[in-house]
């Protein structure tokens, strides 16, 4: 259970105050401070009072006490709000931010460091080198940024003189994977001037006091801060900060982050350059401006890696383009001093921005794809300058206080206003709580055409010399009737304001008088182009990279740059939009006294901060328990104690329990819905990933197959066999049908390559062989495909009677009008008297003739039947030359081819193929059967022809059998 603090330490949460009044609030705040309890809650807002002493409440043991706990389970602490932001980010996948606000010296920077320390400590998975590297970088970056962006002021020894917003990126597991830093409005005027009792940026004193002697000699620097004009202006050299030790810590931190040795050396060269610039003195010799201590010019040339004469020229002259002419205009003593100071401020600002950018290069998230690694989330930490009221408030303080107005406006919108509206939406009676709506102040500063920034920009754009006094006059004219603006001209009796110098704004944190001296120059933020070209042309690549605009030619016309006020306004608007898009958590820091005492609690000082921070209004908004009970209608049945609510009757308890049980159901359903949705999304992502992989693999296999086919068959045209020997690659399953089609295409192409040059006569023979192959392949052993088919064998087989056959065939051709001879051969046939006899068979494209060789082939006209009467053919599966022509009138013709030379050859395939090809050319069908025995019809009588092999048989011959006929063929 939670370890609650006893009442001797006051109320840990201001919401539990008995009476919500400013007096009780202040009494409780003072009691907790005096008892060493520097943290308190207002609901989920942490109120932090600067203890001005080291406290042992940030160690590893304390971190473990708050890790994974709810806010109410442990005493108030920064770690609790940090853990709440981390849990919201990790559990609910929400971007969160922690806004740390308060005036200068209230402890904002320390609070941001402890929050960073806690987040780094609770995300410590084992053996995750990259995560540890990122965490180390984020922590080390604080050390470097403080050195170059913080300074001692009269209110705070480690005051942030710039605004910092850091995003820490986490992956879907909650591990830090990177970050990004945005910096706002570095107070660069502090480089050349500090108010009395203050110091410049820490980095200068760290260099002078902490750098090794050899390094100081190389930089021409003495180990004496008072020797340098720029950093002794405030008259405060000593500080509670150990500059010497911090120099080593900062240098080591830069090395850890990833700064190279050359980059670190350049950083310190720039610091040394600024120190030497401050000691540069100008004199006059008549109308000519001179550098009195000219030895420093060579020192500057060495540090900036440029020529001495170029440095001297940039300091004493300004190059001006007048039309096509370019002239060198000499500076007056005042202009030269202004240019020197502007250069010092600009160099330091560029250095600081470069350091921030260099850190971002190292810590930013790289190679992160949300589709692969899941959505990354962000915790933002805002540590920005607090509200400031100095004796002399200039342009920087005006911008800083405007920034605080914007943040206070955000706080009002997101905490006070939204909670009130939520209660009103829920129908719970609400007593209106007044709060200071500082929108009117924000508009006073940033409104277009009417705001102070707009008037300042307009003054800077006017042609001719515009003074700060003229700017003040324009403000008086535009804002004379504004309730929150005044000046001495508008209030002549107010002697706290100077004529033509001061104006006052009624901020939410109090009235602040601003001196307009320097507003115009600081807003223009001008630096002579000669300096930019000088630094761009440096041989030092780091320094050169800081000044890219130095590349521009003097005659080149450029767009007017945005003013410092506009740039700052735009960055603040962007910052507020960024914060508003996240779930905010607040740390409100309070400064207990102005003398940094760990014991003194200045009542009026703290009361003022409580009022302008709106803390009391926040307490009133967050008094939720009583309002909820009233909303449920139980206000007459309860009594409120100090920390408990007492209920009189069981009915109220039962009713509350019923409502709770009903709510639990809704919560469980909600959790189930979220978890099921998460599981479904996980399954979907896995399935989608698998599908993408499968598709990619299939595409790869298909492409690989196509590429391999292309590779193997690329040069088949030049191959002797046109690629017939090439082995086809094994296709993937999805391409098997495609491969079949591809093979068919290839085979057709291959066949075409073989036959494209053949003569018409050869094509006729090819078609006949194809017909034979289609019909008889695998069913007859020898088809005679390898030899040439002569077709008309009666001419070649019987040379002695060839002339007689030729004469007879010619007469028949004239008589019967046939076009060509398909096939002719000597045959042994069975006549109508069932006797075997020798005949000659002539098949033309129209008729089939049976001729008698003994009668010189005459009388064939009587033994003729049209080829169209042939219904089908029968042959056997053996190597015999038997063929039966079945006719439609059942007068079948049974023949056995003979006289074949050589004797072992076969002509059955040629006979069948030639006749089939002819029928096909006339678009008729002819059936060929391979059967044994063959059934036929002789003059209407059914009979059977059987083939038998006889060893002593010299020639094939027919004999009569009981069922028909026997064809006896010679055996082997």
Residues in CB range of 266: below 8 A, 6 or more apart: 540, 542, 543
According to DSSP, residue 862 is labeled G
Given 28, 48, 101, 105, the catalytic residue: 105
Given 388, 405, 446, 617, the catalytic residue: 388
Rounded distance, CA 884 to CA 848, Å?
Answer: 13
CA angle 629-632-635, nearest 5°? 50
Burial of 23 (0-12, 13-18, 19+ CB in 10 A): exposed
According to DSSP, residue 412 is labeled I
Give the tokens for residue 467: 């003074």
Give the tokens for residue 244: 């010497």
Strand partners, 99: 382, 586
Long-range contacts of 159-163 (CB under 8 A, 24+ apart): 159/104, 159/105, 159/109, 159/385, 160/108, 160/109, 160/383, 160/384, 160/385, 161/186, 161/187, 161/190, 161/201, 161/385, 162/186, 162/187, 162/352, 162/385, 163/383, 163/384, 163/385, 163/403
Given 159, 824, 826, 917, the catalytic residue: 159
Residues 681-691 as b/e (b if ≥16 CB within 10 A, e otherwise) read eeeeeeeeeee
Give the tokens for residue 142: 């604080």
> Measured on CA atoms in the order 416, 422, 427, 428, is the torsion positive or negative?
negative
Give the tokens for residue 902: 């050589």
Q: Is 926 within 8 Å of 919 (Cβ atoms)?
A: yes
- The 377-383 sheet, strands edge to edge: 39-42, 45-49, 583-590, 96-101, 377-383, 163-170, 176-184
Is 156 assigned a catalytic role?
A: yes
Is 104 assigned a catalytic role?
A: yes
Q: Is 569 within 8 Å of 457 (Cβ atoms)?
A: no
103 is in an annotated binding site: yes
107 is in an annotated binding site: yes
102 is in an annotated binding site: yes
According to DSSP, residue 158 is labeled T
Is 109 assigned a catalytic role?
A: yes
Instruction: Please report the beta strands in 236-305, taking only residues with DSSP state E, as ranges in sequence order.
Output: 282-285, 288-291
778 is in an annotated binding site: no
Rounded distance, CA 199 to CA 808, Å?
Answer: 135
Q: Is 316 within 8 Å of 326 (Cβ atoms)?
A: no
DSSP line for 936-949: EEETTEEEEEEEEE
What is the torsion angle, in degrees rounded to the nearest 10, for the CA atoms of residue 779, residue 782, residue 788 and residue 789? -60
Rounded distance, CA 961 to CA 943, Å?
Answer: 9
Given 28, 40, 48, 104, the catalytic residue: 104
Give the tokens for residue 187: 């107070």
104 is in an annotated binding site: yes
Q: Is residue 933 reached through a cis peptide bond, with omega within 30 degrees of 0 on the bond before it?
A: yes
Q: Is 278 within 8 Å of 231 (Cβ atoms)?
A: yes
**Residue whose C-alpha is closest to residue 572's, from 1, 183, 118, 970:** 183
Given 101, 156, 906, 968, the catalytic residue: 156
SS3 321: strand
Give the tokens for residue 561: 């740059």
Angstrom distances, CA of residue 764 to CA of 334, 761, 791, 820: 111, 5, 11, 12
> Measured on CA atoms in the order 241, 243, 249, 255, is the torsion positive or negative?
positive
Residues making up the chain, counted from first to last: 972
Q: Is 605 within 8 Å of 591 (Cβ atoms)?
A: yes
Task: Determine which helix (DSSP H) or strand (DSSP E) holds 654, and give its type and residue range.
Answer: helix 650-712
Given 101, 109, 393, 914, the catalytic residue: 109
Angstrom distances, CA of residue 495 to CA of 489, 490, 498: 11, 12, 7
Rounded distance, CA 568 to CA 941, Å?
Answer: 119
Is 159 assigned a catalytic role?
A: yes
108 is in an annotated binding site: yes
109 is in an annotated binding site: yes
Q: Is residue 932 reached through a cis peptide bond, with omega within 30 degrees of 0 on the bond before it?
A: no
According to DSSP, residue 240 is labeled S
Given 28, 48, 112, 160, the catalytic residue: 160
Given 386, 614, 723, 899, the catalytic residue: 386
SS3 358: helix
Burial of 925 (0-12, 13-18, 19+ CB in 10 A): exposed
Is 105 assigned a catalytic role?
A: yes
Provide the annotated binding site for ATP. Answer: 102-109
Known binding positions: 102-109
Residues designated as active site: 104-105, 109, 156, 159-160, 386, 388
């Amino acid at each position: 259970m939670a370890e609650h603090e006893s009442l001797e330490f006051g109320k840990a949460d201001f919401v539990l105050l008995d009476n919500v009044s400013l007096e009780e609030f202040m009494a409780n705040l003072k009691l907790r401070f005096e008892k060493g309890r520097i943290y308190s809650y207002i609901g989920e807002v942490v109120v932090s009072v600067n203890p001005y002493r080291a406290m042992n409440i940030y160690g590893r043991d304390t971190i473990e006490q708050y890790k994974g706990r709810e806010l109410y389970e442990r005493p108030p602490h920064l770690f609790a709000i940090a853990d709440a932001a981390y849990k919201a980010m990790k559990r609910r996948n929400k971007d969160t931010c922690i806004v740390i606000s308060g005036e200068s010296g209230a402890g904002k920077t320390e609070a941001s460091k402890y929050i960073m320390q806690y987040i780094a400590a609770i995300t410590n998975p084992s053996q995750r080198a990259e995560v540890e590297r990122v965490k180390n970088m984020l922590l080390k970056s604080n050390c470097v940024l403080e050195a170059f962006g913080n300074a001692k002021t009269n209110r705070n020894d480690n005051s942030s003189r710039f605004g910092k917003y850091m995003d820490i990126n986490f992956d879907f597991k909650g591990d830090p994977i990177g970050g990004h830093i945005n910096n706002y409005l570095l107070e660069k005027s502090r480089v050349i001037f500090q108010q009395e009792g203050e110091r410049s940026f820490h980095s200068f004193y760290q260099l002078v006091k902490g750098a090794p002697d050899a390094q100081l000699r190389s930089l021409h620097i003495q180990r004496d801060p008072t020797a340098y004009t720029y950093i002794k202006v405030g008259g405060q050299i000593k500080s509670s900060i150990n500059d010497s030790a911090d120099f080593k810590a900062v240098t080591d931190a830069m090395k850890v982050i990833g700064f190279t040795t050359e980059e670190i050396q350049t950083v310190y060269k720039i610091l040394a350059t600024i120190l030497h610039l401050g000691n540069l003195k100008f004199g006059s010799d008549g109308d000519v401006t001179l550098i009195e201590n000219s030895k420093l010019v060579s020192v500057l040339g060495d540090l900036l890696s440029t020529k001495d004469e170029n440095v001297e020229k940039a300091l004493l002259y300004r190059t001006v383009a007048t039309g096509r002419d370019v002239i060198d205009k000499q500076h007056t003593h005042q202009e030269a001093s202004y240019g020197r100071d502007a250069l010092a401020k600009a160099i330091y600002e560029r250095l600081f921005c470069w350091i921030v950018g260099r850190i971002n290069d190292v810590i930013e998230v790289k190679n992160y794809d949300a589709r692969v690694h899941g959505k990354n989330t962000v915790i933002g930490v805002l540590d920005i300058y607090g509200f400031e009221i100095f004796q002399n408030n200039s342009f920087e303080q005006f911008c800083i206080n405007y920034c605080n107005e914007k943040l206070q406006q955000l706080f009002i919108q997101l905490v006070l206003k939204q909670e009130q509206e939520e209660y009103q939406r829920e129908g719970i009676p609400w007593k209106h709580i007044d709060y200071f709506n500082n929108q009117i102040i924000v508009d006073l500063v940033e409104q277009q055409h009417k705001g102070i920034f707009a008037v300042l920009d307009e003054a800077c754009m006017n042609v001719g010399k515009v003074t700060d006094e003229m700017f003040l006059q324009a403000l008086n004219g535009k804002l004379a009737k504004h309730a929150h603006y005044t000046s001495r001209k508008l209030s002549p009796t107010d002697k706290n304001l100077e004529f033509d110098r001061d104006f006052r704004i009624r901020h939410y944190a109090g009235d602040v008088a601003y001196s307009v001296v320097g507003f115009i120059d600081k807003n223009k933020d001008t630096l002579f182009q000669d300096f930019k070209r000088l630094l761009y042309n440096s041989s030092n690549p780091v320094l050169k990279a800081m000044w890219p605009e130095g590349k521009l030619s003097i005659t080149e016309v450029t767009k007017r740059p945005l003013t410092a006020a506009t740039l700052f306004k735009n960055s603040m608007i962007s910052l507020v939009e960024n914060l508003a898009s996240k779930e905010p958590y607040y740390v409100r820091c309070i400064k207990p006294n102005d003398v940094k005492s760990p014991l003194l609690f200045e009542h009026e000082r703290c009361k003022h901060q409580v009022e302008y921070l709106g803390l009391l209004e926040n307490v009133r908004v967050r008094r939720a328990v009583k309002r909820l009970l009233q909303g449920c209608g139980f206000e007459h049945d309860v009594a409120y104690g100090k920390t408990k609510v007492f209920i009189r009757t069981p009915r109220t308890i039962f009713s509350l329990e019923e409502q709770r049980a009903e709510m639990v159901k809704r919560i469980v359903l909600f959790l189930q819905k979220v978890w099921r949705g998460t599981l479904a999304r996980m399954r979907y992502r896995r399935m989608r990933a698998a599908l993408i992989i499968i598709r990619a693999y299939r595409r790869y296999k298909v492409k690989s197959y196509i590429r391999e086919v292309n590779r193997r068959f690329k040069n088949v045209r030049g191959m002797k066999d046109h690629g017939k020997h090439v082995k086809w690659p094994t296709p993937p399953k999805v391409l098997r049908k495609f491969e079949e089609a591809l093979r068919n295409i290839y085979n057709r192409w291959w066949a075409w390559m073989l036959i494209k040059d053949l003569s018409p006569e050869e094509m006729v023979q090819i078609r006949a062989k194809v017909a034979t192959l289609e019909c008889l392949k695998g069913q007859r052993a020898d088809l005679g495909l390898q030899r040439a088919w002569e077709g008309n064998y009666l001419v070649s087989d019987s040379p002695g009677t060839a002339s007689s056959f030729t004469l007879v065939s010619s007469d028949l051709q004239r008589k019967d009008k046939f076009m060509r001879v398909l096939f002719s051969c000597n045959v042994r046939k069975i006549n109508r008297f069932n006797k075997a006899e020798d005949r000659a068979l002539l098949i033309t494209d129209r008729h089939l003739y049976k001729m008698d060789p003994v009668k010189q082939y005459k009388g064939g006209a009587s033994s003729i039947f049209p080829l169209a009467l042939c219904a089908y053919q029968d042959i056997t599966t053996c190597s015999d030359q038997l063929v039966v022509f079945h006719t439609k009138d059942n007068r079948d013709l049974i023949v056995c081819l003979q006289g074949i030379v050589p004797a072992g050859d076969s002509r059955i395939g040629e006979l069948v193929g030639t006749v089939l090809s002819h029928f096909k050319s006339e678009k008729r069908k002819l059936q060929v059967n391979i059967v044994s025995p063959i059934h036929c019809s002789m003059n209407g009588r059914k009979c059977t022809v059987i083939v038998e092999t006889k060893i002593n048989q010299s020639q094939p011959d027919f004999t009569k059998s009981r069922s028909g006929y026997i064809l006896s063929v010679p055996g082997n």
